[in-house]
Structures are given as C-alpha cells and as structure tokens.
Amino acid sequence: MSKKVMPCSSALRTTAAALLESAPDERPRRLKPPQPSPPTLTSSPVLPRATVSIRRLSTLRPDVSGVDVRLLHDQRVPMRDGVTISADVYLPLGGASLPTIVQWTPYESTRERFISWGVWLARRGYAAVVVDVRGRYESGGEFYPWTKDGIDAQDTLTWAAEQGWCNGRIGTWGRSYGALVQWQLAHLGHPNLVCVAPQVIHDDYFWDGYWTGGAFQLALTLGAGALWSSALALITGPAARDIVLNDRIFRHLPLIELDEVVLGRKVDYWRDWWEHQTNDAWWQKFHHRPDKLQVPIFQQGGWFDPYSGSHLRKFAAVGDRLPNRVLMGPWSHEEEIETFRGDIDLSASLTVIRDHELVFYDRFLKEADNDWDARPPLELFVLGADEWRAEREWPLARTEFTAWHLGAGGTLGPGEPGAGEAADTYLYDPADPVPTIGGVSSVLTMTQGAETPIVPGPRDQRVLEQRADVLSYTSGELESDLEVVGPLEVVLYAASSARDTDWIVRLCDVHPDGRSIFITEGIIRARYRNGTDGDTVELLEPGEVAAYRIRCYPLANVFRRGHRVRLDLTSSSFPRFSRNLNTGEDVGTGTRMEVARQTVLHTAQYPSHVLLPVIPAG
C-alpha cells in the first residue's frame, strides 16, 4: 500500500520514511492527502498597537450558536501492539473532510470541560477529538505515565487521518498531561501533524516537575499519583478532604507509603519515582526535545504556574526556525483565567485563551489569511505596569542583570555588603512548617476539595513574614519605577546545623499600604546544591558555609515608585513541597525529624544576593 504524505513547505517538510524509521514496529500508514481548506469561521483579533503594549482580543465573533454538533462516542483506535484506546469525536452536523484537532487526557474524555471543548471547536469548522490515554477510563491497556504516550499519539494521528471526517491536516492541543503527550509525539513526528499547542507543562520531569529544585512536590505528586490510579472525583471532589487531601495524609511518614495509605495498594510508578531520587537516565528519557520539533508551535503559560520557565526555555530553544509563539499571563494552571484572583487587580490582563488558539489553528490548519504572522513571538503581561508587552527573544536582549545584596538589619539593595556584617539566624522545625500561601503551583483544581486548598497567585505574604522562621530583606522606597522582566536567580551563602535542609526564597512587591505581594519564588534542597539540575547528591557538613544558586521562576513586574522590593527566605512551603526532615536520610523512607539552626550570611566574603533582570527605562 502506498503512503500518501501531505505536502508542505520545505521549511516544515518531514518525510514519511524518516518518521517511520524513528518509530520501530510501526504499522503501515494510510496517510490522507490534504483537502481544500474551508474558509475560516472566525474574525481575526485586532492588530497589536505600535507601542510595546498588547491588545485584548476583539470581542467581535461570528454567531455559531446555530451550528449543530454530533458526537461519535468511544471510537476504538488501534495501537500497534493490539491494544485499542477510546476517542470521542465532535463534528459539525454534516461536516466531512475537516481539519482536525486532537487532544489526549488521563482525566476522562467525557468530562464536561472536554465535551465543551469539542463542541466549541466543532462549531467553528473543526473535527475535535478527545482521547483517553492508554489504561484510563474507556481505553484499553495498562496505564503507566509517559512511557507509551508518544507512540500511542502517533497511532492516533494515523487512525484519524484515515477517517472520512478528517482532511489529513491535523493539529494537537492539550494542557498539563495533554501537553506532555504532544511533546512525546513531537520528537517522533508524524506526516499529518501540522501544528502543536502544548500548554502549562514542564520540560524536565525531575528538576522542573516532581522534584523541583530537588524538593519533592508533595501536593502535586500525591494528587497525580492517586488520581491516575483511581478516579478524578476522589481527588477533586468535595469528599477529597475526608480521604486524601488533609493534614493527616500530607504529614504521613514515610512518604513512600502514601500510595497504600491513600488507595490501600502499592502503585508501581509512585514506587519507581522513589527509586530515582536524582535526575538520572530514567528521568531524562522523558525530557522534552524542542530541537526535534518540525511544525509551528503555540504555548500558553502563567507567571504563577510552575512551568512558566519551561515554556520560555523551549521558546528560546526553538528560536525562529519555526513559527513559534508564547502567551504568558498573570494566572496559574487552569484554562479559566477569568476566575483567577490575587490580592491585586488583574483585570487588565483579561483575554480569552481559546480565541488566541483559534487564530493559530485557523492560520495553520485552514491556511486562513489572518494576523497570526504579524503578531510578536512573545506576548507577556507585565504586572505593576498592568499591560501586555510585545517581545521577540528570551531573555530580553536589553536586560541588565543587576545584583541586589542582602544586608544587615534586613536591608536589600544594589550596594555591596559590609565586611563584618552579622549573620541572620532562625530555627526550622519540620514539625511546624511554613504553610503554602499564594505563590506558584499547579494544584488549584486538584486541591479544590482539600481540607485547606492550595491557592496560587499574587497573595499578600505578611502573615508568613510575621513568623520567626521567615527572614525578610527589604529595600527602601523606590525613587523611580523599576522594571524587572526575565529569569531570576538568588545566590545564597548559608550554613545549617543539619545534614540536609531546604532554602526557599520569594520575591515580593511591597505596596505603600503595606501589602507584601508575592511575585515569584525558588527552592533548592541542599543535597543537590553541587550538581547540575539534580544529577548528584552531597550532604552538608553541619555548620559549614555552602553556596547555593537558586533558580527562581521567571517574572515580569514593574515595582512602582514608592514601592519597595522584598526578598523573603525560609525553609519550607507545606504542603506544596514535602518537609525536609533535616536528617539527610532517604527522602522516601525517612521518618526522624531534627530542628535545624539556619544561618544566612551577607558579607564581602559571602555576598548573598538576588540577580534581578532589570530592563532599563526607555
């Protein structure tokens, strides 16, 4: 049987032969040639202003309420190993030979949010396909995260291209797990794949994902591990606080037993995660490979989602060799950005993510003549200035990385520290951890039924700053606006009485009324301080000064005149991260706790500082 490959431009061409060679044991493909692209059913958003500020999308949209939609439920999709997985297909009534958008999920394809997604796209002239990943809900096979998602996605696209409702031009969409499936597919490729839109997802599964800075992301990893082995309602429903998401569970030790504590049985992948407590080859085989991407990409992220840095690093890695765009706003992990709140006004950021996505798909799946190509590669919302900015590279070429030093008396500023400044100390007791309030996290939906929901965002940190185990370093009132946009790093010189401990830093914008508004944060677990992204472990010598380079999440904020810049420092954020027990024992099996005496130095010899990505005025 001959294989017909969709023609494309030379810049985006990938031969079928090369793709088949990259996926061993692949079934022969029947790849449908492209059909004429139907006209777009949506108006284009307005063009950006000539200044650096970015517009909201136009509210002028076509009326599609009269477009009827039909569902093809539980279509069986054959995989190359004989397993079949389940796909739900949404089509405009009477539609055939349509551009097609596919997503994959472990969170139940017939969930309301996926039904509404399918209906929304079908009414706009697309075939929309929602697939339960292998081993979840209506799909066959056994679920084990990440291992077969790429080849299963390849087989899904081959199946879709053979259907009468598909014209051979296929794009992908997905948030969180649905985004990582796209990245697992991207390095394999597919002749019918035209464009991808992976949203809110990490790039490094260890250092940027489950062991952030070496610290175990407890709430996320426990929630995901339990959810992927049970049902959505167990974790996100109102009874979650009674069974899973409560203080009794989060405080349970040893951590490795939490699968049995929550579900009454061992979970294979949960146990495997504990077998790999460094960023070794087991984790690295899953890492995303933007260098292998061969089709246009649109990423959307949030400053208060843990994967903002991942999106911007992948944006930089793809560069300008492909159509490549990122939209980054002041929200977290959820698509419903209009409901996201903080302790500052975020209304200036409001936009509709689906409208951005629709223009992307119309441009590349329907070849519509819209404004996509004229848009800036980066659209970033800058807090403080409360406006969208158009940028072209990351980090910004005009950035001036400027060290602001910690100083005596809790000061912070660009001046050099004195030679003999006294160190600051506090006690960190893992039995009394600092609670997670605001900040960066991806578990707002997952913990909505928790005893204490974990709510991310720009929240006032004053209640935490009153604790004895939180140090604060604050600048004087700014005489002019200070714009800070880019990656952020804290260089910390500190000693601990413990063999292992955590260091957490948070950058805050202190308003004239006293509110200390969270902007960004970073963490490092001391045992990983001397390696590269968590690849080695070295315990501390108690009392010895060690140097830490703490990678924080990127930021975009204007500290206004009259405001102050503050850096908070502590050793826990619970239950977002598991508590460091300070003993240096195995993180999964340890149960013994010690109180650690923490010492922070800021002298000419040990110049602790935050490296601000300052954007010069004008």
Q: Is residue 291 annotated as a catalytic residue, yes or no?
A: no
Residue 213 pLDDT exceeds 60: yes
Mean pLDDT of 243-270: 96
* Distance in angstroms (rounded) separating the CA atoms of residues 183 and 451: 34
Tokens encoding 539: 């315990």
Task: Walk me through the domains of the chain, giving residue ranges and CATH numbers.
Answer: 65-196 (3.40.50.1820), 214-282 (no CATH), 400-615 (2.60.120.260)
**From the candidates 190, 333, 405, 602, which is the catalytic residue?**
333
CA nearest 121: which of 335, 355, 322, 392? 355
pLDDT at 445: 87
Q: Catalytic pick from 305, 355, 424, 509?
A: 305
The residue from 86, 139, 176, 573 that is catalytic is 176
Give per-residue pLDDT as tens, 223-248: 999 999 998 888 888 889 999 999 99
pLDDT at 68: 96
Residues with Cβ within 8 Å of 11's Cβ and at least 6 positions away in sequence, in order, are 321, 322
Question: Which pLDDT belongs to residue 233?
Answer: 86
The CA-atom distances, in angstroms, between 546 and each of 212, 369, 493 are 20, 57, 6
Average pLDDT value for the chain: 90
481 is catalytic: no
Q: Which residue has the tokens 């800070």?
A: 484
Active site residue 176: yes
Proportion of the chain in helix, strand, coil states, percent, rounded to 5: 20, 30, 50
**pLDDT band with cut points at 50, 70 and 90 for residue 433:** very high
- The pTM for the full model equals 0.90
User: Band of the pLDDT at 418, cuts 50, 70, 90?
Assistant: confident
Residue 416 has phi, psi (to 5 degrees) of -75, 145
φ, ψ for residue 15 (rounded to 5)? -75, 150
